Structures are given as C-alpha cells and as structure tokens.
Structure 1
Amino acid sequence: MMRTLYGASPADIAGMDTERLRAEFLVGGLFRPDEIEFVYTHVDRMIVGGAVPLAKPLMFGSGADVGTPFFFTAREMGIANLGGSGTVAVDGMRFALANRDVAYIGRGAREVVLESDDPQRPARFYMNSVPAGADIPHRLISRSEAKPLVLGEEARANRRTLRMYIHPEVAPSCLLLMGITDLAPGSVWNTVPPHLHERRMEAYCYFDLAAADQVVHLMGRPDNTRHLMVADGDVVLSPAWSIHMGAGTGPYAFVWGMTGENQAYTDVDPVAVRDLR
C-alpha cells in the first residue's frame, strides 16, 4: 500500500489544530503484521515504510506507485531492523539483520524480500527511500560497524549515543543518510539544542517505547513552535524549515533518516533553547 502526504509550509501551521497537525506531519500504522506499508511524502520525495513478516515472506519491487518500471529504478533505500532477527534479500542476495542492523539497497534493484527468522519474535523492518542518481552496491551495515557519537550530559537528561549507519564515513549512498540514536538510562531529551538544516529534511521513527509512554516531539519555526504526541512506531516528518527536539515519558530510541542537497551531517543552524517560543 502507498499513501501520499503533500507537506505544508511554515505559514500553514498557525491555523492547524491537533488533528490537522498530526495528519500532515505524523505517520502511524506502519507496522502491521504480514503487511508492507509505505507513505510517499512530497517533503523531498522521501518514502517511509514498515513491514512485519510473520507467516510468510513479504515482497515488493514494482514501480507502479512511483512512476518507474521498478521501485528502485531511480531510488535507494535503507532498511533498519527494530525487532527480532530477520532477512532482507535483494535480487537473491541475502542479508541477515539482527536488531539495530541496517541494510542499504542501491539503485537498480528489482525485487526485495523480507522475512523473520522466528514468527514469535518477528523482525520489524523500517524503511527510508529517496531518489538516487548513482549506483551504489547493496550492503549490510551491522550495529558494530556503525560510527558512534556520544552526545549530551547526564546532568541535563540528554545523554545519548548516535550511531551513523548510512553515511559517507561508514557506508556511502547517493543522497540518503540514516542512523539510530539510543538514550542513556535516565535521559529523556533528544536533539538538544534543537536546530534547522535548510538543505535537508529529516524523518524520525520513534521505537522501543512502552505502551504507556509517549514522546513529546517539538516542531515548527523557532518563534512559533508546536508539539506532537508520539507513540511507539510513529514517524514524524520534519521539513527543512522545522526544528526538531523531543522528550519522552519513559525510555525510547529513534531512527533518523535525512535527504536533501548534501550529506554534511554538521550542516545545521542551531537554535538556542531560550529563543524558542
């Protein structure tokens, strides 16, 4: 299935109520048993998706929804496994993914098959796909291969480990960046201080939340902020003009995916917390 979101300008959010804000920027329902769900967003044409294979493998590859012969005729993708162990097969090339491993699929792939090793502990595949103009080989990036950056302070409740997976310093791509951030025990804040990156959009997939917990995700212009209440498995679309920062009511982690004009992770414009309104 492919749903479509068209995005909004910063001027639009002033008149949005909670329901409209969630409809434009929050993606839920991606992780349904034995289904593949995709959402096509016109925010830099990123596609976010989810799949939970149980009794049978799940396959995709048709380009009907993106207007090309195959899904990957002009696209690349990162697939992060947020659940039990599973397999991603790309045109017969099989990659075994443990929890927090990521598979990169380059332009030109024909068919992707997703499987769980154990239906009682299924894989939970989260996908980011963006347009690509170069042929990069498919590959597996294990958690041990990712580049870790330890950020924040325990005293400010924002200690966290950011791991770069699809990144020029680890595994190259055409335009996609992808990684996973885990918060230290007792820390609740992510992406502090908040920032903008005018040349890239970002998608956040929050996971490993208990059913009773949520993340308060802050977005909008620095002088006109809004918030979204985010549950386990929800994805927030963050346009280039929006800040992103959040705090959880309990432990959580998130996958970040970006695309845009460059892959310079430090190409950001920080915003001081005291300047938020």
Structure 2
Amino acid sequence: MRTVVASLAALAALGAQASCPRPLQVPLAPIGVSVSFDGNQATGIYPTLLREVAADTGCQLEVQRVPRARQQKLFDAGQAHLLVPASATPARDAKAEFVPLIQVRASLLTLGSDPAPPRSLAQLLAKPDYKLVVVRGFSFGAAYDSAIATLRQRQRLVEEADTVGVARALQRGLAQGTVMTASILVGTLMVEPELQPLLKQLQSSPLDELGWNASGLYLSNSSLSKAERDTLRTAFGQAARNGRVWQLFNEHHPPGSLSQSIRPLP
C-alpha cells in the first residue's frame, strides 16, 4: 500500500511539474493587509494565497515588489505571468484570462464629515473644485476609468504610486477624496502606525455607477501555456469556491469591517 501511495504522490508531483516547468513571475504592489512587505518577504492575503497554490500545484511562483503601475506594465509586456489582485476590465480581458476570487465594491472614501458627499461619479465630476487622489494603475470598471480620464484632463486628479501615498495626500488635503474598495484603504491605515489615527476619520459613501463586481487575478494568454493556465485556474478557483479566499480576508480585517466593500462569490 505504501508503494502505491508513494507512486501516486510521485505521479501527482510529476504532473504538477509538467504543468509549470519553469518559475512564474508574479510582481506584487503593496496594498495594505492584502499585500505588504517586510524587506523582501511578502506577507498578507494574496502572498499567503500564492504560497498555498504553489504548494498545492508544485508551481514555483516568484514574487517581486513593484509599484502598481509597474506591475500592470510588466503584465502587459508579457514579463509577468500573473496580475494579482485585479478587477475585470475589457482591456485586460483582451490579453488575459480572468479568474474571479471575491466580489468587491469601490466607493468614495473621505476623511472627516462631509454633510453632502457626491452620490455618483457624475455628481463628483460636476463639482469644479473637487479633486480625487487615486493609485496609478487601479481600475474598478469602465465608469471609473472614464471618470479618472476626465479628472486627469481637467487637472483635478492626484495620482500616487500606492495606497500609502493616497492616504498621505488625503491627510495633507491635496484631494477631497479617493475611490477604491474601502478594505484596501482600511488595511493600509492598519499597517502604517503614523496613519492609524485616520481610521476614526474615514467615511465611505457609495457611488451610483459603482456596484458589486468580481475581483481576482489575471493569467497571461501570451506568457503562460494552456497547461499552466489550466493548473492555476483550477487551483485558484478551488480556493475561492471552498471559502479559503474569504477566510483569508476575514483573518486580516477587523470583524464586521468587510460587509460594505467585500463579499464572497455567490
């Protein structure tokens, strides 16, 4: 029996190696508790998920720290095999395969009390003095992308390399608000000691054009083989279906803090 079990294990390992015969490049950008770095060591929700998928599949997933905009450029150029995390967009769908992991809803996030925050992107655009700060390379769908392009053209957009830069821009009053999934900014404030006091000031307001959408990762069509995509799609999809992804989010966030911005796949 031990020989049979050992043989089966060996065959499984060989199958995994055949599916991922070379190291796969996965650049990551810091995003609060979702992705953080201690030196060269990546920690947080997605690095944990990547390590677990690597262990399950035998694929070697090599992580490197980069700014978010650089992460997208590497993926577009075929120099990165996975884009993690990512929301689904038509531009990305044209060159890669989307694997949903969670549902997210972006909202308008502000510091302090605004008695009448914009309730839609259209209202926000109609306020001539309203500035927004965002992470360069983030996308939350077509309506978001269009609004960001308009604000950039009107010189009412502040673009930062990461969410820490966004929080500091809000703190300094360089912009009135930001648009992203609330848990991303909450996670950033949690892990940055000098920014933690801002948690008590943070307010979230839904925007009409931004509903619930899937978030997950993209597998490159150009730099991954079909066998590699099949292996990774199955492994990440299983982690979403069996509740592991949702469990990781809950482990890294305060109880009850996710209901307005993140929920498991239906």
TM-score by length of 2: 0.26
Higher helix proportion: 2
TM-score by length of 1: 0.25
Q: Give the number of the structure with larger relative contact order, counting CA–CA contacts within 8 Å between residues 6 or more apart.
A: 2
The structure with the largest alpha-carbon Rg is: 2
